[in-house]
Amino acid sequence: MRITARDGTVLAVHSVGTGPGVVCVPGGPGRASVYLEDLGGLTTTHTLHLLDNRGSGESQLPADRDSLAFPRLADDVEDVRLGLELSPADVLGHSAGCPVVLLHAARYPDAVRKLVLVTPSGRPFGWAADDIDAIRGSRSGEPWFDEANEAAEIAPRANPSLRRELDRVMRPLWYGRWDERAQEHAAGADDQVSLRAAAGYVPMSGYDPREALESLRQITAEVLVVVGSVDAMTGVSVADQFADVIPKLQVACIDGAGHFPWVDQPEAFSTAVGTFLADR
């Protein structure tokens, strides 16, 4: 499906599954939504409307590169919701997609019924998880650890091009176990990430993390935060930080899962999310 955003940018939405619709916003940033797959089998009970954020996947790269910033992407979510005629909508964001769906829910409180945040980061709102070092350290006995951990230390200061190279090295830290399934999923990132969309994700000006954090108190939707117990990218404690500011929030911690819990623990993930969304 093609939906035209308010500024004329054409957005691609891939719909899979049966049942009530869920608008799904990928992370990366700049990664095409195909990596979300069927979200651990959630397609058996829900129709997933997988959005390729502007500039990524099959969506158009806009002439205005400032519109690639995540606060602007929140308006695309609303345009997609209206195009799909979901009123109100269930919305799911993963990783870098979480700030997008959070700002959308704060900006359009009547538009969202339930909101799912999968392994979110608190950095866009002014805080960082305080348990990442401990989680990484728990993996120190694995053969890939030293090289992956060194790359992870450098990555936050890297430009998008270097970050892409570092990501290849630190991929084992993304998952609960570095098996064939995880390696196959991780390898997809090579062709799924748009460097232009990734580079434009962080706003260059006009964004105040403290103001954005305060806006989360206006979210009226029920919210589920899903974290992986061994997520060495965004951690577990971030869920408690969101709980301090979002009124109606519950947490599901998936044991043995990393940053992509539907890959590591598909049944546990789809059960947690499906149960949360089931009450209509």
- For 253, other C-beta atoms within 10 Å of its C-beta total 16
Token digits for 21? 């619709």
Task: State the Cα–Cα distance between residues 143 and 158, nearest whole angstrom.
Answer: 25
CATH number at residue 168: 3.40.50.1820
Say how far apart CA 103 and CA 114 lie, in whole Å.
14
Mean pLDDT in order along the chain per 10 residues (280 residues): 97 97 96 98 97 98 95 98 96 98 97 98 90 94 94 85 86 96 94 92 92 94 98 94 94 97 98 91
Helix 145-154 × helix 160-170 angle, to 10°: 160
The predicted structure's pLDDT at residue 124: 94
The three state secondary structure string of the chain is CEEECCCCCEEEEEEEECCCEEEEECCCCCECHHHHCCHHHHHHCCEEEEEECCCCCCCCCCCCHHHHCHHHHHHHHHHHHHHHCCCCEEEEEECCHHHHHHHHHHHCHHHEEEEEEECCCCHHHCCCCCCHHHHHHCCCCCCCHHHHHHHHHHHHHCCHHHHHHHHHHHHHHHCCCCCHHHHHHHHCHHHHECHHHHHHCCCCCCCCHHHHHHHHHHCCCEEEEEEECCCCCCCCCHHHHHHCCCCCEEEEEECCCCCCHHHHCHHHHHHHHHHHHHCC
Alpha carbon distance 9, 96 (integer Å): 21
As a whole number of angstroms, the distance between CA 98 and CA 100 comes to: 5
Look at the chain and report how many structural domains it folds into.
1
C-alpha distances (whole Å) from 201 to each of 157, 175, 224, 258 are 15, 24, 24, 23
Q: What is the residue range of 11's domain?
A: 2-278
Pairing status of strand 249-254 against strand 47-52: unpaired
Verdict on whether the full-model pTM lies above 0.85: yes
Pull the structure tokens for residue 259.
Answer: 């940053």
Q: How far apart are CA 76 and CA 5, in angstroms?
A: 6
pLDDT at 128: 83
pLDDT at 280: 60
